[in-house]
Amino acid sequence: MTHRPPSRVLLVAVGLPLAITAVGIALLFAWLSELPDPIAVHWGFDGPNGFAPPSTYLMFYSLLGIGFVVLFGAFAISGRRVGPNWVQKALASTSLGVAVVMLLIFVGTSAVQRGLDDAVDAPDIGWLVIGGIAAGLLAGLAGWFIQPKTVNSASELAAALPLRLAPEERAVWLAKTRTPAGALAVIIFAIVLVIGATVFVTVQSDGAAWFLLFAPLVLVALALLTTSWRVRVDENGLIVRSVLGWPVYRLPAGEIEKAGVTEVYPGADFGGWGLRWAPNRRFGIITRGGSALEVVRKDGRTLVVTVDDAATGAALLAAYAAAPRPQ
Amino acid sequence: MLIRVDPSSEAPIFEQLAASVRAEVARGALVPGDRLPAARDLADSLDVNIHTVLHAYQALRDEGLVDLRRGRGAVITDQAVAGVELHGSVRELVAEARRLGVGAPAVIALINEEFRS
């Protein structure tokens, strides 16, 4: 059953941010001839220290603005359950807030340079950045309340029937879960974007910001560590281990309340792919959409792992969770 | 993949391991190209002798269900799935043979004859 996302969610996640970005693009375009070439695009404590052609600035803003709407908007409206859940509302609000921040900063930094002959004379913009961020936060908050009331979409897990094991019988369930090629392509693209951005900033700052290059390195490491996993159920419980050996997530059989199968929509339920945290103490190892093994612990926490043949894994886990514990 | 062994059962453990793999191939949980766990890992998980696991893998290799390659381990072959597709025909044949009162040896002889022609 697929429901169209509520219109107010669409408005906050996509409609308003796109309109705001369009206004910004229009203003920058209209001012192109009045701006010094190059204009100041980066400020230090002593004033402007980074410059670029105004058309480049405009293009950068357009790409970033639309890019963020696509990113946050797509995740926010990707759900199919009734009413927006907490994650979707947060993503939509973020989309709106980011659009406002970027409008004020890009348009503001350009506005103060209109009519200038030399961008070096551009005034200080610290107050503009602070104001922009504050306005963005307020816009995000407004976006939250514009949207319909939060619907808790995590439905009660249907516990799997325990696999029937003979008294002496031992069983092991092994599975792999891999991020599909499409999602991997998005991740790689995002990392390439970050590499491009950090190189740009490093060059702009004449090498002063070289330490930023650690950021893409961290992203690459995270991608390698978290995109492919081995899942195993045996008498000890559940183990989910990255193919690189770490991280490892262990769930002892004695701590399991129930296990079952659920349908996962990464964007709507967890806000994306990878190691994700969601409301109601849910933690997910999410490599794809579709069926997943869900385990509820006795302390109320929930672990979700997207994996094929989850039904068999859940049944075996249920059998071991119900087995009497050796003292 | 689900692998089950029951030490108290009459069937030898290696046969039970092989039967588990055959069952997983039959229901599509294992497909050509999938790799079975390393013999040592499976032996540790199920608390059985590593040679028992190797025996099971060799039996599966002899059947044509897996390829044993150095460094890669036991990999499900394409023929494994073909065997599954044949399963339906085999079931029909055996049911028909039973109806007609023809025993297994006679049926096998007929099959061999057919292969020879």
Query: Which positions in chain A have a beta carbon within 8 angstroms of at least one beta carbon in chain B?
Result: 165-175, 232, 234, 308-309, 312, 316
The answer to whether the Cβ–Cβ distance between B4 and A171 falls below 8 Å is yes
- B9 vs A contacts (CB less than 8 Å): 166
φ, ψ of residue A154 to 5 degrees: the values are -75, 105
Look up residue B74 and give its amino acid. Answer: A
Q: Give CA–CA dist A191/A227, Å, rounded.
A: 14
Q: What pLDDT score was predicted for residue A79? A: 67
CA distance B112 to chain A (A): 37
* Cβ contacts of A317 on chain B, cutoff 8 Å: none
Question: Is the CB of B4 less than 8 angstroms away from the CB of A167?
Answer: no
Mean pLDDT of B99-110: 92
Mean of pLDDT over chain B: 90
Q: What is the DSSP letter of A231?
A: E
> Using one digit for the tens of pLDDT, what is the confidence trace for A239-289?
999 998 889 999 999 999 999 999 998 888 888 888 999 888 999 999 999
Q: Rounded distance, CA A213 to CA A201, Å?
A: 10
What is the pTM (predicted TM-score) of this model? 0.75
pLDDT value, residue B109: 92
Is there a contact between A168 and B29 if contact means CB atoms under 8 Å apart? no
CA distance A44 to A201: 13
Q: Rounded distance, CA A301 to CA A318, Å? A: 16
Gap between the Cα atoms of A300 and A220, Å rounded: 33
ipTM for the whole predicted complex goes beyond 0.90? no
Q: Write the secondary structure of B86-113 as one string of H (helix), E (strand) and C (coil).
A: HHHHHHHHHHHHHHHCCCHHHHHHHHHH
**Is pLDDT of B18 > 90?**
yes
pLDDT of residue A38: 86
Residue numbers in B near A232 (CB within 8 A):
45
pLDDT band at residue B51 using 50, 70 and 90 as cut-offs? very high
Residue A46 corresponds to which amino acid? D
Q: Tell me how far apart the alpha carbons of residues A93 and A141 are, in angstroms, rounded to a whole number.
A: 7
Report mean pLDDT in 10-residue bins for chain A, 327 residues: 74 94 94 87 82 88 91 79 80 94 93 85 86 95 91 78 89 91 84 84 75 83 88 94 92 94 89 88 93 94 95 95 70
Nearest-neighbour CA in chain A from B54: distance (Å) = 17
B47 interaction partners in chain A (CB closer than 8 Å)? 170
* B113 part of contact set with chain A, CB < 8 Å: no
pLDDT in tens, B64-86: 999 998 888 899 998 888 877 78
A308 contacts in B (CB within 8 Å)? 29
Number of inter-chain CB pairs under 8 A, A vs B: 42
Q: What confidence score (pLDDT) does residue A1 get? A: 44
pLDDT recorded at residue A325: 59
3-state helix, strand, coil in chain B (%, to 5): 60, 10, 25
